[in-house]
Amino acid sequence: MTRIAAVSLNSAVDQTVRVPRFAVDAVNRVEASRVDAGGKGINVASFLAHLGHEVTVTGFLGRENAALFERHFAQTGIGDACLRLDGATRTNVKIVDPVLDQVTDLNFPGISAGPEALEGVGRALGALLEAGLDWVALCGSLPEGLPPETYAGLIRQAREKGARVALDTSGAPLAAALSAGPDIIKPNIAELGALLGRPLAGRDEAVAAAREIVAGGVGLVAVSMGAEGAVLVTRDASLCAVPPGIEVASTVGAGDAMVAGLIHAATRGLDLAETARLATAVSLGALGEIGPHLPPIDRIEDLMAAVGIGAA
């Protein structure tokens, strides 16, 4: 079994409400509602646990509503090394309108965290690294109060202890982390374009952009492009993965599932084509579920066969 730590600095409670014919400036009736422990780091941890890994989460939770996360960790067998901060973990509300086929997101700001809180995460990660970690997943935006170099520092800390690192973030924290040499990054095409300061149109431009990042010392760049699939680029190879047309239940966690799939593939020593196939299948698995969940493993294996792999 592989030991993995996921770092979740900006966790979220994901509340999904179903409102047929949602209207602004009007009273709306909620038909159904569900609440999930979420945020990118928590999602990646949940998916990796589902795929059979021994997973611990560190990062921040608000003390006021930590119980939801504690229940989730207990149910999924995830280790809890999260610091508790004063206040409540933010809630992100997703209003799903099945009639008009629209989704409206209300994303709250997270709790802010200072340097002392970050030192606490460094100590928690340090203890996990001492006990032995194969992979560290760093996922999501940074809370207010932490510098853009935060992930760069955590990457160096992990790599010094021999752990490999996957990073999924955007903007300044991504730009500042590249020189620390993460093993895997998974920007979507817009995030990669923002990183390089030019919009990227389509697969060829995504591959060229990913090659620039690989040349700077990142092991694998997986650029996701929603329904168009993804391109995967390493120093030696590049290819594209094309998903089959599928019925989407919710897009929540598709990118996070791809991150988990990339790490899972690496722990199994798969080549680039099989990595692309597996990571895409895991993302398709998440798309078939409401909220950040995956189907049983045999369903993911069936989905693998439907992913097209081509030259890029």
Ligand X SMILES: Nc1ncnc2c1ncn2[C@@H]1O[C@H](COP(=O)(O)OP(=O)(O)OP(=O)(O)O)[C@@H](O)[C@H]1O
Nearer to Mg ion, 48 or 81 (CB): 48
| Planar angle of CA 29, 248, 94, nearest 5 degrees | 35
Distances (CA, A) of 59 to 45, 125, 175: 12, 9, 21
Residue 269 CB neighbours (<10 A): 8
173 binds Mg ion (CB under 5 A): no
Residue 38 binding Mg ion, by CB under 5 A:
no
Q: How many whole angstroms separate alpha carbon 173 and alpha carbon 176?
A: 5
Give the nearer residue to ligand X in terms of CB position, either 253 or 291.
253
Q: CB under 5 to 8 A by kind: which of ligand X, Mg ion, none does 182 bind? A: none
Task: Write out the residues near ligand X by the rule CB under 6 A.
Answer: 188, 224-227, 229-230, 243, 246, 248, 251, 253-256, 258, 280, 283-284, 287
Instruction: Give the Cα separation of 277 and 289 in Å (integer).
Output: 19
36, 204, 256, 302: which one is catalytic? 256
Is the Cβ–Cβ distance between 270 and 239 less than 8 Å? no
Decide which of Mg ion, ligand X, none touches 11; Cβ closer than 5 to 8 Å per partner kind.
Answer: none
Query: Residue 226: which of ligand X, Mg ion, none does it interact with, CB under 5 to 8 A by kind?
Result: ligand X
Of 92, 93, 90, 91, whose CA–CA distance to 28 is shortest? 93
Q: Which is nearer to Mg ion, 173 or 255 (CB)?
A: 255
Q: Output the smallest distance, CB 24 to Mg ion, in A.
A: 27
What is the token pair recorded at 166? 């996957």
CB neighbourhood size of 252 (10 A): 24
Task: For Cα atoms 257, 56, 159, give the angle at the middle one, nearest 5 degrees.
Answer: 85
* Residue 39 touches Mg ion, criterion: CB under 5 A: no
Query: Is 256 annotated as catalytic?
Result: yes
Tell me phi and psi for residue 143, to 5 degrees: -70, 160
- Rounded least distance, CB 2 to ligand X, Å: 22
- The contact mask relative to Mg ion for 233-262 (x = CB under 5 A, - = no) is ----------------------x-------
- Which residues of this chain interact with Mg ion, rule CB under 5 A? 255
The residues carrying an active-site annotation are 256
